[in-house]
Amino acid sequence: MKKWRKLWVLTLLLLIGLSVSRVYAAPVSCDCDDQDRIFRLTDPPMSGDDVVELQSRLRALGFYEGSLDGAFNEPTAQALMEFQEWAGLAPDGSFGPKTQEALTMSIAEFSVSQATEKPPEGELRIVINTEKKTLTVLVDDEVFKVFPCAVGKSSTKSPVGEWRVIQKGTHWGGGFGTRWMGLNVPWGIFGIHGTNKPGSIGTAASHGCIRMHNRDVERLYPWVKVGTRVSIVGQYPKIRVSYPLHRGQSGKEVQQLQLSLREAGFNVGYTDGRYGEDTALGVSQLQSFYGLKPSGQADINVLMLLGLR
């Protein structure tokens, strides 16, 4: 009798433990934007924006015909296995890193050949608002389209300033998604690109780049030419400039000089962190305004007048 009682108590405890663990188990639907999930069939099914993204890509490639319901269910897993087989991978139905990369590459090649949306006519430029996490396409200074995006996190902010697209690419893959448009930021490699973390869109999550949904960056890509102006606007912590600056230099200090000159009302062209003739002209105009020698070099006097030193 005691033995049966002990067994009964243990069973009861086991049942309670299992129930608790089930309650506190990680949710199968995850919006964790910093986790790469490996999809697999579960009950209930795994769900989320990333699953929608997967279903969308599989449908674009012709492997999936169901609805974009964001649930990793049987039809989705079946479509994934068919893709894996087509791509020469083990058809295990789980969306791991190798399958992710293969899918990204395939979509890239597919989209380039399928791009049919006509680029807008007129002068196009892009404005990225780091506060609102939006990428706005302007054509002839009129808003043409607004896309959500992800920007740099607080420790790796996106480079506020005025840039140009200097490079375009379709096969970067991985975290760069299906498209890449590099910017001419002098102190690092920054660009606008797709993502394999669609849940991060709308947040400050990147290392400074601008992330877009792959479907959005694929749409934007043919509109943008090398040389397209891109303005990134947002809070810019004022940095002190402790040494004189001159023509030919580039960097954050030069950009701070440009921003300060513009704030003071002097025209410097683009705040792109490059000390060219426009910047020199702005400096000499400031010097003339204060009756100083208009050398065009941002010497100690100029830095003091702008409150940078």
Partner 1 sequence: MPKKRRNGTPGRRRPNLVVLILAMAALALGYFAFPLVQGWLVGGFRVNPNARIDPEEQYQLSFWMVKPTVPDFAPWQERLVDVFNQWTAAYPNIQVDISYIPPEQAAARLTEAIAAGSPPDVYFHPDSAQAWYGELQIPMQIYLERDEQAAIPASAWGQAISGERLWSLPVALYPKVMLANTALLQADGFDPAEVSTTGWKWDDFFSVVEKSASGSTYGFVPTNTDDTLLSSIAASFGKPAVLNAALEPQWSNEDLLAMAAVWQELSQAEGLPSPAAEMDAECLDLFLSKRAAMIGPLNHNLAYWLWKAAIQKGITPALLPVPHGAEQPVHDMQSVFLSVFRQEPYRGHSHSRAAAEFARFLRPGLAGLLSEQTWAVPANPEPLASLERLPYDAASQRVYAAVEMAPATPYAYGPEPGMSEKHWEIAVKPAWEKLVNGQYSPAQFAQAVINSLTAATITGP
- The answer to whether 166 touches 230, Cβ cutoff 8 Å, is no
Cα 222 to Cα 69, 120, 163, 174, 229: the distances in Å are 29, 10, 18, 21, 15
Active-site position among 32, 209, 213, 246: 209
Shortest spacing between CB 259 and partner 1, in angstroms = 14
Say how many residues make up the chain.
309
Q: Which C-beta is closer to partner 1: that of 8 or that of 289?
A: 289
Q: Which C-beta is closer to partner 1: that of 122 or that of 265?
A: 265
Binder of partner 1 out of 126, 205, 230, 305 (CB under 8 A): 305
Shortest spacing between CB 268 and partner 1, in angstroms = 12
193 catalytic? Reply is yes
Other Cβ atoms less than 10 A from the Cβ of 114: the count is: 11
The site map against partner 1 for 225-264 (x = CB under 8 A) is: ---------------------------------------x
Shortest spacing between CB 284 and partner 1, in angstroms = 11
Shortest spacing between CB 267 and partner 1, in angstroms = 9
Q: Which C-beta is closer to partner 1: that of 168 or that of 309?
A: 309
Rounded to whole angstroms, the Cα distance separating 303 from 309 reads 6
- The answer to whether 161 touches 154, Cβ cutoff 8 Å, is no
Residues 6 or more apart whose CB falls under 8 angstroms from that of 142 comprise: none
Q: Which C-beta is closer to partner 1: that of 80 or that of 305?
A: 305
Q: Which C-beta is closer to partner 1: that of 104 or that of 260?
A: 260
Shortest spacing between CB 271 and partner 1, in angstroms = 16
SS3 146: strand
Q: Which C-beta is closer to partner 1: that of 64 or that of 266?
A: 266
Active-site position among 30, 149, 193, 246: 193
**Residues 187-226 interacting with partner 1 (rule: CB under 8 A):** none
Query: Nearest-CA neighbor of 100 among 27, 178, 46?
Result: 178
Shortest spacing between CB 72 and partner 1, in angstroms = 58
The site map against partner 1 for 265-304 (x = CB under 8 A) is: xx------------------x--xxxxxx-----xxx--x
**Residues 119-158 interacting with partner 1 (rule: CB under 8 A):** none
209 catalytic? Reply is yes
Within the chain, what is the greatest distance between any pair of CA atoms? 105
Characterize the bridge pairing of strands 161-169 and 229-233. Answer: antiparallel
Rounded to whole angstroms, the Cα distance separating 75 from 65 reads 9
Residue 269: beta bridge partners? none
How many residues bind partner 1, per CB under 8 A? 16
End-to-end CA distance of the chain: 87
What percentage of the chain's residues is helix, strand, coil (to nearest 5)? 35, 20, 45
Cα 34 to Cα 50, 71, 182, 201, 256: the distances in Å are 12, 20, 23, 11, 32
**Residues 18-37 interacting with partner 1 (rule: CB under 8 A):** none
Active-site amino acid positions: 193, 209
Residues near partner 1 (CB under 8 A) are 264-266, 285, 288-293, 299-301, 304-305, 309
